[in-house]
Amino acid sequence: MFKLIKVLFFNIFYLILLLMILELFLSLFLPVNKYEMKIGGEYKSISGWGPTTKSGQSNFLCDNVRNYDSNNKIKKILTIGDSLLDCNEYGSEFKNTIPYLMSTTLGKNWDVYNLSAGGWGTDQEYLAYMNYSKYNNFDYVILFYTPANDLYNNISKKAISEKIAKPYFIIKDDNLQLRNIELNYINNKNINKSLLYLLLKSQIFMRIYIYLDNNKIINLDNEFTSLEQENYAHMAHSIVPLLPRYKISMEVTKKIISKFKKDVEFNGSKFVLVYIPTGIRNLCEPLIKYPSNCIGYGENKNINITCGGKSVNVNPYIQHDILYQFSKQENITFIADFSNFIEFEYKHNEIANDCIHFNGSRQASYVSDVVVKKLLAIEH
């Protein structure tokens, strides 16, 4: 009996030692950027990660440099979005972004601020705004919706293709509830809270949690369950009818947008929702009509694709139609214009090489010009 206890003790000791070494290695060389709610902290602690900043500087790379005490007579706009509005130091320049083009077109009587980060979902954009709006009084707050991945992001707890955790919302009792890792566990008074806290912060636990959560099957009886996973994140959002994961996410998304509008208006600004026409990456069997496997916008609203021997229908307009009707109900100014995209229905890659991000300023202007025109119409 004593020998058994001794063996068990040493096995546990070596296991703990191994876990400590693994934790140290992960912390030093492969850390996960975990979401924590810290009011007034860096954006990575508010929304999982933040906008790109200039090397050695605090201002955002994709924003105009200015004094925040600007002229009160100048109309101030805040644009909020993901990588479709963001840029980086490795080739994607601010001059090719929608906010920059809007600023140039509107002229000196308008001041366009940009708050965006690659990979952000609508949930993160809302959280970022709530920790940014306090310092600026805007005439307009414009939320840019990206159909290519926002619907996936808004029900995910990690960045697509990255081991980076993010905040998320659930609907409970018909209300939005912000969740993070700590909130997902019962507050048991019998548990040593300090020990539990350390466990929840550990790199090992983070990876286990993210892996299990993002590979969880929502509906075991759904024959298209495999399409709801991250591998198809840039395509499955347009399958009709919406798959269970995306149905849930659409309800969450609508509630986030509704709350976004209320808080923007409470802060004295006008809220605008812009729908960016991004292509659909065909990740299943190739279609002859779409040689680049990038599905664009045209008259065809029922495109049949074969995935793993199963037939599914894709509708490029499905999210637009849902959000358009929702915006009418909520009295939200909704901007969407496909006129410049129709001719690229079968060659959307000529607008966006990767099917999502615009190739340059000309393509980005297809969106910026429409938004500017709408803003000027509202003003007059």
- Mean pLDDT, the chain, whole residue set: 84
Buried-state track 9-41, b at ≥16 Cβ within 10 A, e below 16: eeeeeeeeeeeeeeeeebeeeeebbbbbeeeee
Which position has the higher pLDDT, 253 or 6?
253
The structure's pTM equals 0.84
Listed as own residue / partner, the contacts of 194-203 with beta carbons closer than 8 Å and 24 or more positions apart are: 201/34, 202/23, 203/23, 203/26, 203/27, 203/30, 203/31, 203/32
- Bridge partners of 143, per DSSP, are 80, 273
**Range with lowest mean pLDDT among 69-73, 184-188, 253-257, 316-320:** 184-188
pLDDT of residue 39: 36
pLDDT of residue 87: 86
**Range with lowest mean pLDDT among 95-99, 211-215, 289-293:** 211-215
| pLDDT range class, residue 90, cuts 50, 70, 90 | low
Q: 64 near 111, Cβ under 8 Å?
A: yes
pLDDT of residue 187: 38
Residue whose C-alpha is closest to residue 85's, from 73, 72, 101 = 101
Say whether pLDDT at 201 is over 50: yes
Average pLDDT of the segment spanning 253-276: 97
Q: Which tens digits make up the pLDDT trace of 298-316? A: 999 999 999 878 899 999 9
Say whether pLDDT at 9 is over 50: yes
Q: Which tens digits make up the pLDDT trace of 98-131? A: 999 999 999 989 999 999 998 999 999 999 999 8
Which position has the higher pLDDT, 204 or 331?
331
- Sequence ranges of the domains in the chain: 30-280+319-339
Q: 160 near 119, Cβ under 8 Å?
A: yes
pLDDT of residue 15: 86
pLDDT of residue 190: 47
pLDDT of residue 32: 63
pLDDT of residue 26: 82
Q: Which tens digits make up the pLDDT trace of 205-264? A: 777 766 665 444 344 344 447 888 888 999 999 999 999 999 999 999 999 999 999 999
The CATH homologous superfamily of the domain defined by 30-280+319-339: SGNH hydrolase (3.40.50.1110)
**Range with lowest mean pLDDT among 2-6, 124-128, 177-181, 375-379:** 2-6
